[in-house]
Chain A
Amino acid sequence: MEGSVKFEIFGFGKRLKSMLKVDFRRMLKSRLFYILIACALLVPIVMTVMLTMMDGQESVNQQTGEVTIMEGPDSTWQSIGTLPSDEPAATDASAVGGMGAMGGMDVMSMCNINMAFMGVAVFVCLFISEDFRSGYAKNLFTVRARKGEYVISKTLVGFVCGALMLIAYFIGAMLGGAISSLSFELVGGLTVGNIVMCMIAKIFLMFVFVSIFTLISVAAKQKAWLSICGSLGGGMLLFMMVSMITPLNSTLINVALCLVGGLLFALGLGAISRVVLKKTSLV
């Protein structure tokens, strides 16, 4: 009778496949995922339309009497990134954002497609904390001695969600531009290839952010508020870097840099996340 107990050994590939199946199934059933994609699609439309509507409006500072003329975005591409510096519209910070100067930073350079990197933080944190809050982590980890596939799967799910948010934002920006009758003209030596490279670079860069958010989330476990605060705080430190690494006139070098950086971050932080899961209580 004792000889009849046989245990099948599952390879890494099969284990990862089953973990991915669980996470993608969950992602597609998650309301939060659709809400974030919808937000990514609607925010650029609303922003572009509103900023364009405010174009030319004057506001007077009651104390100084200074008159500021609101200027809307000149180009649809401003929702994706700051136009190359040789482009006349981008040289004047107060003119680019359409809301006047904000301590040297214009609205469109902050509130653009890069906000998706912050949106994905919310998704990753809530997605992982839900595993621990619901107690599903017990079912998961009882049958999974190895934690590596959990981290890989979560990173990939976060990456896919982030990539979809970036694409949704891009579509939203194009729709917003079309609705507001903004220019789609590629100026300052900008090409379609640059924009494609910029988007690909941003998508690869998502790996860096998702790896950080995953690490913070597995450390915080069921404490979603802690992981969200940590991720947004950590994300803000790197947020400024996004526009520098992935400018609108990106080339293959930017893409390669983001790909290598993304993979290195994913591997390094993924290994740390795995150790955190291994050494700490999972309930």
Chain B
Amino acid sequence: MNAVEIKNLSKNFGSKQAVCGLDMTVPMGSIYGFIGENGSGKSTTEKMICGLIPTSGGSIKLYGKDYTDESVRAKMGVLIESPGCFPGLTVFDNMMLQAANLSIPDAEKEVIKVLKTVRMEGAAGNKYKNCSLGMKQRVGIAMALLGNPTLLVLDEPLNGLDADGMRIMREVFCNVVKDGTRSIIVSSHLLGELQKVATHYGIIRHGKMIVEMTADDLDASCRTYVALQAEEMNRTKMLLGYKYSRVEEDEAGYLRVYDLTTPEEIVTYLYENSICVTEIKTDKIGLEEYYIDLMKEGK
């Protein structure tokens, strides 16, 4: 059984088709990185999963049940676009409202526990409108975590978080899925951060799922490259360009050789051409580069 199973989902806003024929599978116990450009249909899909906008076609199943099933929906946590708090109320009052909404028995204790998880217990008495962007985001995640949800749908949860906040969220996400039954769908443009936690990925474009894969699949499909620094970088680049089909300079000033080769082969080749290599390493492209490459291919 999968946590989320979407078949042929579509959504039209008038004549504009926001999502068309989308298939998506989120296995139980996974952290599903949902990636796509702005306006690709991520948020619309997430809103349909949460039942916030009606679908135009297709089916959504959550834990084997229709997405309109109230028992499954009662065990969902959500953070879409904004945390959904009343500005005039305190963080604690907002949390207590959501606890009442979820019929949590020992609400006060649960609220304090969740606020502690996101390190916001000290700001519980602050009015929500006086919180910073990062604090609001933490409150939003805390609200989503209330009541031990089985499925979390988080849209850009890492926006506005500082380094510590991101580390905490990584911990939180990993703890949530630890038991193997609870799942998280998380969309983010911070692909580097997403790669640190995601176990599965789905890449959407123009409302269609273009690829779904596991983190292992991504690892296997990410091309390896040799990165090096040498004396006379321009000449080195020129020489490498004669022998290898793709040589690029990265932001850190390294020359990257993408063809299948070994560092030894490159060092020997450059040495024969009187160039001394000062640093050399092999690496793999990350999610971000994989995604950019995929988007370029699509174009």
Q: Min CB distance, A10 to chain B, in Å?
A: 6
Known contacts A135-B82, A143-B74: A10-B103 contact under CB 8 Å: yes
Mark contacts of B95-109 with chain A using CB atoms, 8 A cut-off: 1 yes-contact digit, 0 otherwise. 011101111000000
Closest residue of chain B to A146 (Cβ to Cβ) is B70
Which residues of B in the span 45-83 have a Cβ within 8 Å of any Cβ on A? Answer: 47, 50-54, 63, 65, 68-78, 80-83
Q: Min CB distance, B5 to chain A, in Å?
A: 13
Q: Min CB distance, B220 to chain A, in Å?
A: 26
Q: A280 to chain B: which residues have CB within 8 Å?
A: 54
Known contacts A9-B71, A281-B53: A138-B84 contact under CB 8 Å: yes
Report yes or no: B70 in contact with A21, Cβ–Cβ below 8 A. no
Report yes or no: B84 in contact with A134, Cβ–Cβ below 8 A. yes
Q: Which of A4, A145, A279 contacts B51 (CB 8 A)?
A: A145
State in angstroms the CA–CA spacing of A43 and B57 once bound together: 54
Q: How large is the interface on A (under 10, 10 to 19, 20 to 34, 35 or more residues)?
A: 35 or more
Report yes or no: A9 in contact with B63, Cβ–Cβ below 8 A. no
Known contacts A31-B88, A134-B86, A135-B81: A143-B180 contact under CB 8 Å: no
Q: Does B125 contact A (CB under 8 A)?
A: no
Q: B1 to chain A: which residues have CB within 8 Å?
A: 2, 5
Report yes or no: A8 in contact with B28, Cβ–Cβ below 8 A. no
Closest residue of chain B to A281 (Cβ to Cβ) is B53
Q: B72 to chain A: which residues have CB within 8 Å?
A: 7
Known contacts A143-B73, A283-B80: A25-B97 contact under CB 8 Å: yes
Q: A240 to chain B: which residues have CB within 8 Å?
A: none
Report yes or no: B52 in contact with A136, Cβ–Cβ below 8 A. no
Could you tell me the dominant secondary structure of chain B's interface residues?
A: loop
Could you tell me the dominant secondary structure of chain A's interface residues?
A: helix
Report yes or no: A22 in contact with B74, Cβ–Cβ below 8 A. no
Q: A54 to chain B: which residues have CB within 8 Å?
A: none
State in angstroms the CA–CA spacing of A257 and B50 once bound together: 42
Report yes or no: A135 in contact with B84, Cβ–Cβ below 8 A. yes
Report yes or no: A144 in contact with B28, Cβ–Cβ below 8 A. no
Report yes or no: B181 in contact with A143, Cβ–Cβ below 8 A. no
Closest residue of chain A to B73 (Cβ to Cβ) is A145
State in angstroms the CA–CA spacing of A130 and B84 once bound together: 10
Q: Does A18 contact B (CB under 8 A)?
A: yes
Q: Min CB distance, A203 to chain B, in Å?
A: 26
Q: Does B10 contact A (CB under 8 A)?
A: no
Q: Min CB distance, A125 to chain B, in Å?
A: 16
Q: Does B150 contact A (CB under 8 A)?
A: yes
Report yes or no: B54 in contact with A18, Cβ–Cβ below 8 A. no
5 shortest interchain CB distances as A-B pairs: A135-B84, A7-B71, A145-B70, A21-B100, A142-B50
7 A-B pairs (CB sep. < 8 Å): A8-B71, A135-B81, A136-B86, A138-B52, A142-B52, A142-B78, A144-B73
Contact surface of B with A, Cβ cutoff 8 Å? 1, 28-29, 47, 50-54, 63, 65, 68-78, 80-89, 93, 96-98, 100-103, 143, 150, 153, 179-181
